[in-house]
Amino acid sequence: MLSYAIEPPNKEEYPMTVYVYSEEDADFVEKNKVLALWPSELQYLPFEKLDTLDPAKVTHWLVTGWVKEIKKVLHLAYEHNISVGIIATPKQKELIRTLSLPSNIEDAITLALHPSEKKLDILSCNDTIVLQEVVIGDAPPLDHFDTVLKGKTFLDRIKLFWLTLRKVKQLKHTRVKITDAKENVMEVSAVGMVGIEYNNATFAAKLLASKLSANDGKLLLVILSPTSIMQYVGYLFQSLVSYITPKSLPNSVGYIVSSEITIESETPISVRIDSTETEKVPVKLKVVPEVLALSVGEKFWEKQNSVQSTKDSIKIEHLPSDKENAEYLADKIPLFTHASQDQYTALFTNLREEGKLNSVYITLLILSTMIATFGLFINSSSVVIGAMLLAPLMQPIVSVSMGVLRQDSSLQLNGAKSIFWGTLAVLLTAASIAMFTPIDRVTSEMAGRLSPTILDLFVAIVSGVAAAYVKSNDKILGSLAGVAIAVALVPPISVAGIGLGWGDWHMFMMAFLLFITNLVGIVLAAAFTFMLLGFSPLHVAKKGILTWFFIVFLVAIPLYSAFSQMKEDIKIQKTLANLSFTLKEHTVRLTHIKLIHRPKNDEIFCEVISSGILSTKEKKILKEAILKSIDKEAEVIVTFRYKL
């Protein structure tokens, strides 16, 4: 059992340096005996005869062997307050890098022979010394040494990433109770933990290097607790493929810094100490500060955090800790995050209320429609934006998306009723205003909602993602107003209503297509986002997601056609804008080119800037030149302007 070191022996009476080595490393030791570095009082001792030596007579230990054998000597050195130096073999790359030992054998022997004046902390696991790390459960890649990436090409890193990822199915969460030195009791659900005392070149140490020091009396317990495969993949990719160490702690990782940590679990969990010794929980990790005089390289101390803190540090509040999450994750890690029962209950209660049809909802829609319609007539974008903020139409749409996701018929039906009656109220209100308003011109605010393209669908999809994310997080609920402005649900229905009032079916159909585009895009994107946030398992969500994906695909067909038409119009505008004609005595050029698509024939509106008044023949030549340059039939309507 580890205990505080006793008084050192009288080293003048027993001056002795002992080199203990493994039988398997006998050839390595014999080969190096010829070097003129060894002191005259050096004694060689195989591990088999270690029990025959009185440790009190030793003034300095040297050791070569397996980690398990090295730790026997470290234990003796610690108990009797004797310095120790490790001479690692070339194959012990992790040990060499961990302790920053020289790779040149002569330099390594010189360092090992020199007793260290600076002492290290000792970490123990159930009273067994931990030289490099203790792993509880499975924690890839936190328990890996970063030497696995040394000399690897990008393709090799990708292969290693996939090999590690394939093991994710074997990872299972276990609910554990953790008690620190201050008797703080914490419960978390985790797949694995890594305990380390100093920067040992593992991925755990690399991630939290600022929390590590070899003589601060603290150990670091890094906890791996991914709540979804997607979350885990993000950190795994950063670790094994990217050359950049994450600056912030990944969502799947937490940590505890303390001088003593006890880990308990009702379920058996394997424990690996320095990759060789195996135990089971419960385990007690404990640090005894500054008691081991171990000869290490200068770079070892450079890697340690120079700013030491006497305070414990804990960051596990983002890890799953409730019983429900632990039970859900115990079977296997899901593809997407699972929302907690509290999150689920709060959101569903809210969406059920917002999806219901009521007088307040209809009143607000009618008022917002009146504002939007008058804003469209007076061509004021600020008035139209005000109407967007007032309109509550986004609420039942988000409710429908959750109903689609969860296959909840009542949520879908209530939301659909609210959308239907709300849309009808907007159409009738806008149509009534249009019929009794003595204005029959299409303003730019109206025209902007008469040419929906695939780009509008992309806006709706992004807005749906934003709406779902905002609704699932009370802290940013105020941002929903910004989403409503971005997607603009009421203005296109108002334009469609104006088209009804004027009897313009083309205007009605194009504006209503924009509304349908926004509706289906939001429902699909919001449902998919809710699934990613863990509000429904994939097997339940799949049917609704696929159904609405098909609906969105059908809506996208005319939108893509309109987008292609828009690209063609832009091409025509650029072609005509670059034209310059010489018609007998006059030169002309075109500006302010605009294309209007009519059911029977397209129209080209433009201004013609001429050096003089054109004759009828010149006008005919100009029209023919315009149509020839764009290679299509159309009506050309021009406004003439003359240079003075």
Instruction: Please report the pLDDT score of residue 532 as a whole number.
Output: 81
3-class secondary-structure state, position 333:
coil
Question: How large is the average pLDDT for residues 460-474?
Answer: 82
Q: What's the farthest any 2 CA atoms get from each other in the chain?
A: 125
Instruction: Please report the pLDDT score of residue 537 as a whole number.
Output: 73
Q: 3-class secondary structure for 475-519? A: HHHHHHHHHHHHHCCHHHHHHHHHHHHHCCHHHHHHHHHHHHHHH
Question: How large is the average pLDDT for residues 142-150?
Answer: 81
Size of the chain, expressed as the number of residues it contains:
644
pLDDT digits (tens, 9 = 90+) for 57-110: 889 999 999 988 999 999 999 888 999 999 999 998 888 988 999 989 999 999
pLDDT digits (tens, 9 = 90+) for 598-613: 777 788 888 888 888 8
Segment holding 410, helix H or strand E:
helix 409-436
pLDDT digits (tens, 9 = 90+) for 402-442: 889 888 888 899 999 999 999 999 999 999 999 988 888 88
What is the pairing mode between strands 174-180 and 185-190?
A: antiparallel
- What's the whole-model pTM score? 0.66
Which residues, including other chains, have CB under 8 Å from residue 130's CB and lie 6 or more apart? 123, 124, 195, 196, 197, 273, 274, 285
CB 290 within 8 A of CB 215: yes
121, pLDDT greater than 60: yes
Type of residue numbered 602: D
Quick one: what percent of the chain has pLDDT higher than 90? 32
11, pLDDT greater than 60: no
**What is the C-alpha to C-alpha distance for residues 503 and 511, in angstroms, rounded to an integer?**
14
Question: How large is the average pLDDT for residues 250-272?
Answer: 91
**What is the C-alpha to C-alpha distance for residues 444 and 91, in angstroms, rounded to an integer?**
76
482, pLDDT greater than 60: no
Instruction: Please report the pLDDT score of residue 307 as a whole number.
Output: 67
Segment holding 574, helix H or strand E:
helix 538-577
- The sheet that has 635-642: what strands, in order across it? 580-583, 586-597, 602-610, 635-642
| Mean predicted lDDT score pLDDT of the chain | 85
Contacts from 460-463 at CB under 8 Å and sequence distance 24+? 460/487, 460/517, 460/518, 460/519, 460/520, 460/521, 460/522, 460/525, 461/521, 461/522, 461/524, 461/525, 462/486, 462/525, 463/487, 463/518, 463/521, 463/522, 463/525
Quick one: what percent of the chain has pLDDT higher than 70? 91
Instruction: Please report the pLDDT score of residue 512 as a whole number.
Output: 94
Q: pLDDT class for 475, splitting at 50, 70, 90?
A: low
296, pLDDT greater than 60: yes
Look at 13 and 186; give whichever has higher pLDDT: 186
Q: pLDDT class for 622, splitting at 50, 70, 90?
A: confident
Look at 2 and 289; give whichever has higher pLDDT: 289
Instruction: Please report the pLDDT score of residue 480 as a whole number.
Output: 54
Strand partners, 284: 262
126, pLDDT greater than 50: yes
pLDDT digits (tens, 9 = 90+) for 489-518: 889 999 999 999 999 898 999 999 999 999
